[in-house]
Structure formats: structure tokens, C-alpha cells
């Protein structure tokens, strides 16, 4: 069973529909203790980083413990941002900190008419081999909608350029994250979700 | 590089897609789920469902239609038409909408923009503006284009942004369904006045109309209905044309 963490930030309907279409079995845990049985954990999210404050110490501990125990963990959009140490969008709210670095506001460029929020389809520039991106080619287009983003670090497996370049996908051991919305990115997005489900299946067999 | 988005609009009445000319003379154009599936295969970037008669007939957005479309496509889905309250928006989101489009209600109660932006994030809130040319500017109309709102489109777009809107969907009532081309001048005026993306709508008839609205119109996205519904042109052909003319698109 995959745990889809619902912390009240926006709308999980699309993620649920996509997981169901791929035949995944998932549940939304009502309490952190329920995470101990999960084969994989997905932290979705849309909207403001402050919403992740609803993931209190007990949730942080349960999700952190699962990740340290090797359970595949996948953060989507604000859920990916939460894997980092914190965000300039809500300086008082700490991230999980399993990825090094801090989320910062995207730069725009009035002259080139590059607006913030960054809304629409943009290309992934692969920076290294990644389990999450199997079956896709560098240059694949995915759907973004965000104003803040993660820095390009050693954990970055695909970067995207707007006015500046940011981490569009990250991967380290059993921890994965994407800034874009795989559940809204057509066939490319479904492939990434399928890859994560496959990782969850393989890692569970170990 | 961020691509220019091509958005298909499904004007829905009683669960069926219809299309009119200048907001009148509606005719049947097909089943929403079937059209969405075809557009997805052809490479559409987003889908908008507009319950076009909802404001007049006081109906809620149709959850059944939203569901039928959301089942077919894994693309951004916007729902508009008759969303007057936080509850109406929640019903649309629960049925599978990623964004809601506010029109009459946003003008009548601009607080609703802020309320929904706080609850779902600005990216989920589109303010739709239906406007007609006037000697002194672009006049906003509400209630499915029947009522003069006594507002200028440029000023209203700017206010909508400051209240938390994430995108502007700008429809030229003069061009709607005419296939005479987008109103590029109006689109550019609004696009220059805001920092959020502007979706141009109304008047698409040829591929060059799209090229025009992405260049001189300075649109971030273009929305069309008639040109796609009756299989006159495929989305894929349109995108190849745009790319050949130097417009970045997802292919």
C-alpha cells in the first residue's frame, strides 16, 4: 500500500485519479503511525509552502523515519520543496531537510517577458541517469505552475530554465521529488508516476 | 523555454458541447469526454470546460461533465461558468478541476478571488474577462455577455491580479466564433498591464491567427473551440505550423 499524505494543502483529486488509472493501491493515512506499514510515501502539494506547517513533528518524524528506513518517498511540487531545508516563501516553516538547500523565489525577466508564476509546459534537461526518469528523453515537456523553486545541487537529475535555472527533478537513494505536476503532464507525467510505482514495487521486494 | 499553450474550450450546456457565434446561435458540437480524448491524443496542452448558460439558468457547474473529462485526460483542467461562491468552486475542484474560472462573480464580489487564492493557491484561480471594443477602450461585460459591467478590461485585469488571480482568460466578444482572428490589440494591452499569464480567446480561424496572437498579441496561451471541434484542423497541425514560425510549443 502506498501512503498519499493529505495535509490539507489544496486538491489531491488529480493525483488520486492518475494513481488509480495506473492501477496503484493507495490510502491517505489519518495518523502518522499508519505510515509504518507503507510501501512508499507520496507527499503532494499545491499552493503555499506555509501549508506544509500542517505536517507537525509527529508527521515529520514518521515520514523521516520511513525515508531513513529505505521506504521510497516522492514529493510533488510543494511536496518536493518540503524535502529541502526551508523556503523563502514561509521562512518560519522548516522543511524535512533530507535534501540540502533552500527554496527561493523564481526570477522573472520583464524584458524577455518571462513571468512569475512560471505556468505552462517546459522542457526537462537531464543532468544524470535517474530511476525516476526511465523511459523519457531529455527535452521531455512537463507542466509547471509555481513561483518558488529548488536550487540545482548534486541531487538534481533534471533542471529547467525560466529566467533562471532550477531543479525540476531530484533523486537521492530512495528519495525523489519533482517540481512539476506529473499527474497533469500527459503521457510523460504518467511515465514518471509509473516509474515511482515500479521503484516502490522493486524496493519492497528487497 | 516555456512554451506557448494551446487550450481547447468545451462550452457545455446540458452535458453536451455547443458553440455559438458572438455568444448566440448555439449549435451542437459533440460529447465532452470524446472531444477531450481526441484533443489529448492530438497534443492539446489544457482543457477548459465552460458551463456557458450556467449564469443565466442559475445552475452549478456540472460535476458529471467534469468527471467525464477528467477521466480521459491527465492535463490541466479548468472549469468556469456559474461559479459564484466558495462552495461552487469546491464542488468543481472535488469533481476534478485543477483551476476555476471566475467571471460575473469576480466582478460582483472581488473578495472571492482572494478567498479562493488563499484556499487553493493563485495557480488555481483564473479570472475570465469578456470584453468589447469601445472608442475609449475595452468594455467588460458579465452575465454571459448580456450586461455592461462599467469596467475597463485593462484596469479590471490589473485589479484581479492584485487580488490573487493566477491567470487572465480574455475573450473578445466582438470576435467570438467569427474566425476573424484574435483581438491582438486588446490582448497586448491586457498582457502589458499584468505579470500573470494571459490566455487569449475569441476569433481563432486560421493558424496564422495563433501566430499573430503569440507575437503582436503577446499572449501566453490561446484558447479556441470551433476551429478544433468540427475537426477542421488538428491541434498537432497547428503546433507544427507555430513551430515552423518560431513559436515555442510542446510537440
Nearest to A18 among B2, B74, B120 (CB): B74
Q: Is there a contact between B197 and A120 if contact means CB atoms under 8 Å apart?
A: yes
What are the residues whose beta carbons fall under 8 Å from the beta carbon of A178, sequence distance 6 or more? A74, A75, A76, A77, A80, A132, A142, A168, A169, A170, A192
All cell numbers assigned to A155: 541531487
Catalytic center residues of A: 77, 181, 183
Q: Is B92 on the interface with A (CB under 8 A)?
A: no
Quick check: helix, strand or coil at residue A1?
coil
Check whether B231 has a pLDDT greater than 70: no
**Rounded-to-integer distance, Cα B170 and Cα B188, Å:** 11
- List, for residues B85-142, the tens digit of each pLDDT value: 999 898 888 888 999 999 999 999 999 999 999 888 888 999 999 999 999 899 999 8
Strand-pairing partners, residue A86, are A94, A102
pLDDT digits (tens, 9 = 90+) for B151-164: 999 999 999 999 99
Half-sphere exposure of A69 (CA within 13 A, CB side): 15
Q: What is the pLDDT along chain A (206 residues), one digit of tens a residue?
A: 999 999 876 668 889 999 999 999 999 999 999 998 899 999 998 778 888 999 999 999 999 999 999 999 999 999 999 999 999 999 999 999 999 999 999 988 888 888 888 999 999 999 999 999 999 999 999 999 999 999 999 999 999 999 999 999 999 999 999 999 999 999 999 999 999 999 999 876 55
Contacting residues of B for A11, CB less than 8 Å apart: 93-94, 98, 120, 124
Interface check B98 vs A, CB under 8 A:
yes
Domains defined for chain B, CATH in brackets:
5-244 (3.20.20.70)
Contact in structure between B116 and B105 (CB atoms under 8 Å): no
Residue of B nearest to A159 (CA): B1
Give residue A116's region: left, alpha or beta (phi > 0; psi -120 to 50): beta
Q: Which residues, at least 6 apart from A5, have a Cβ–Cβ distance to it below 8 Å?
A: A28, A29, A41, A42, A43, A44, A55, A59, A63, A79
The verdict on a CB contact (< 8 Å) between A123 and B218 is no
Q: At what angle do helices B63-72 and A13-21 cross, to 10 degrees?
A: 50
Which pLDDT score is estimated for A164? 94
Q: CB B166 to CB A185 under 8 A?
A: no
pLDDT in tens, B35-88: 899 889 899 999 999 887 655 544 554 788 898 899 889 999 999 988 999 998
What is the three-class DSSP state of A36? Answer: helix
Domain ranges of chain A: 2-205
A2-205 classified as CATH 3.40.50.880 = yes
Handedness of CA A105, A111, A113, A114 (dihedral sign): negative
Query: Three-class SS of residue A99?
Result: coil
A146–B contact, CB cutoff 8 A: yes
Q: How far does B147 lie from chain A, in Å, by closest CA?
A: 31
B148 Cα to chain A: minimum distance (Å): 31
Of A120, A195, A119, A121, the C-alpha closest to A157 is A195
CA distance A192 to chain B (A): 13
Check CB contact of B195 with chain A, cutoff 8 Å.
Answer: yes
Q: Cell digits for A184?
A: 497533469
CB B42 within 8 A of CB B17: no
Amino acid at each position: 500500500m502506498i501512503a498519499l499524505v493529505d495535509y490539507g494543502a489544496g486538491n489531491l483529486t488529480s493525483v488520486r485519479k492518475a494513481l488509480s488509472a495506473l492501477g496503484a493501491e493507495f490510502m491517505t493515512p489519518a495518523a502518522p503511525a499508519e505510515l509504518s506499514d507503507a510501501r512508499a510515501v507520496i507527499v503532494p502539494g499545491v499552493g503555499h509552502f506555509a501549508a506544509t506547517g500542517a505536517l507537525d513533528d509527529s508527521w515529520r518524524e514518521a515520514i523521516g523515519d520511513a525515508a531513513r528506513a529505505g521506504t521510497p518517498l516522492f514529493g510533488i511540487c510543494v511536496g518536493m520543496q518540503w524535502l529541502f531545508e526551508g523556503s523563502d516563501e514561509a521562512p518560519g516553516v522548516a522543511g524535512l531537510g533530507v535534501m540540502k538547500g533552500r527554496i527561493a523565489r523564481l526570477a522573472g525577466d520583464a524584458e524577455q517577458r518571462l513571468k512569475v508564476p512560471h505556468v505552462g509546459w517546459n522542457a526537462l534537461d537531464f543532468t544524470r541517469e535517474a530511476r525516476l526518469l526511465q523511459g523519457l528523453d531529455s527535452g521531455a515537456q512537463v507542466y509547471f505552475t509555481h513561483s518558488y523553486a529548488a536550487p540545482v545541487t548534486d541531487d538534481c537529475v533534471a533542471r529547467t530554465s525560466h529566467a533562471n535555472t532550477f531543479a525540476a527533478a531530484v533523486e537521492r537513494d530512495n528519495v525523489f521529488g519533482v517540481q512539476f505536476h506529473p499527474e497533469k503532464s500527459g503521457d510523460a507525467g504518467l511515465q514518471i508516476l509509473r516509474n515511482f510505482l515500479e521503484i516502490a514495487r522493486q524496493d519492497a521486494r528487497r | 523555454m516555456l512554451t506557448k499553450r494551446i487550450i481547447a474550450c468545451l462550452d457545455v450546456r446540458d452535458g453536451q458541447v455547443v458553440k455559438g457565434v458572438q455568444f448566440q446561435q448555439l449549435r451542437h458540437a459533440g460529447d465532452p469526454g470524446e472531444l477531450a480524448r481526441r484533443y489529448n491524443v492530438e497534443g492539446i496542452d489544457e482543457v477548459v470546460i465552460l458551463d456557458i448558460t450556467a449564469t443565466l439558468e442559475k445552475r452549478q457547474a456540472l460535476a458529471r461533465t467534469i468527471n467525464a473529462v477528467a477521466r480521459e485526460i491527465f492535463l490541466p483542467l479548468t472549469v468556469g461558468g456559474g461559479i459564484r461562491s466558495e462552495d461552487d468552486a469546491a464542488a468543481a475542484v472535488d469533481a476534478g478541476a485543477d483551476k476555476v474560472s471566475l467571471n460575473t462573480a469576480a466582478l460582483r464580489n472581488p473578495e472571492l478571488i482572494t478567498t479562493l487564492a488563499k484556499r487553493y493557491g493563485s495557480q488555481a484561480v483564473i479570472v475570465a474577462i469578456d470584453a468589447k471594443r469601445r472608442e475609449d477602450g475595452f468594455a467588460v461585460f458579465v452575465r454571459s455577455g448580456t450586461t455592461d459591467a462599467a469596467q475597463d478590461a485593462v484596469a479590471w485585469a490589473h485589479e484581479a491580479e492584485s487580488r490573487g488571480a493566477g491567470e487572465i482568460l480574455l475573450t473578445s466578444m466582438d470576435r467570438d466564433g467569427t474566425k476573424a482572428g484574435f483581438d491582438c490589440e486588446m490582448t497586448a494591452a491586457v498582457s502589458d498591464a499584468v505579470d500573470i499569464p494571459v490566455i487569449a480567446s475569441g476569433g481563432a480561424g486560421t493558424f496564422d491567427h495563433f501566430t499573430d496572437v503569440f507575437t503582436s498579441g503577446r499572449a501566453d496561451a490561446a484558447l479556441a473551440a470551433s476551429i478544433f471541434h468540427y475537426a477542421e484542423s488538428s491541434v498537432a497541425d497547428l503546433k507544427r505550423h507555430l513551430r515552423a514560425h518560431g513559436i515555442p510549443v510542446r510537440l
